[in-house]
Amino acid sequence: MIGAVGIVLVLASLLVGDVLDGLFDLDVLGGDLFSVSSISAFVGAFGFGGALGLAAVDNILVAIAVGLVVGGLAAWGALRLTRSLKRGEDAASFRSDSMIGHSGRVITAIPEGGYGEISISVGGHVRKIAAKADLPVAYGDEVWVSAILSPTAVEVTPTSAPDELTP
């Protein structure tokens, strides 16, 4: 029965884990030690490990000890997995220098010598960033990043030359 409760908790943490973590604020020590995912992994593994221990040796103390060891290993595994997954979520994973040479699309027109905005996708991350160009660039035009001006602004060059107006 304890193992089934653990499985229900695992399913709940997969579906709405961040909501449950924020709602119950279980991780008082930080580091995801008492997150819903690590608690549910411990409870489920404790229940099933204890059942296996009781089936192997008909002694409740041995079953509890086996359940604690298996549950602790499962919680440790969930903790490590959660930390490795969250490590990729920080803003540092989208470095400014990685944008040079990538193309983007103008989402706010860029006036001559002024700033507009582009949408750019680098490494699966989509970001909206301020952009400056020497020539005016219209909404929807494709550009490529030629320089980094700051962590929040880039210099862009249109991928095609603007049409010359004939008098």
- Six token digits for residue 148: 């980094």
Please count the residues of the chain: 167
Residue 166 is predicted with a pLDDT of: 40
Residue 14 is predicted with a pLDDT of: 63
Residue 164 is predicted with a pLDDT of: 46
In order along its 167 residues, the chain shows pLDDT tens digits of 777 777 777 676 666 655 555 555 554 545 556 666 777 788 888 888 999 999 999 899 999 999 999 989 988 888 888 777 666 544 444 556 678 888 899 999 999 888 999 998 877 778 888 999 988 999 999 999 998 888 788 999 988 755 544 44
- CA geometry: angle 108, 114, 119, nearest 5 deg: 30
β-strands 142-150, 115-122 pairing: unpaired
Residue 10 is predicted with a pLDDT of: 67
Residue 92 is predicted with a pLDDT of: 44
Domain boundaries, the chain: 2-89, 93-158
Architecture of domain 93-158: Beta Barrel (2.40)
Residue 165 is predicted with a pLDDT of: 41
| Closest C-alpha among 76, 75, 133 to residue 109 | 133
- Cβ neighbours for 149, distance < 8 A, ≥ 6 positions apart: 132, 155
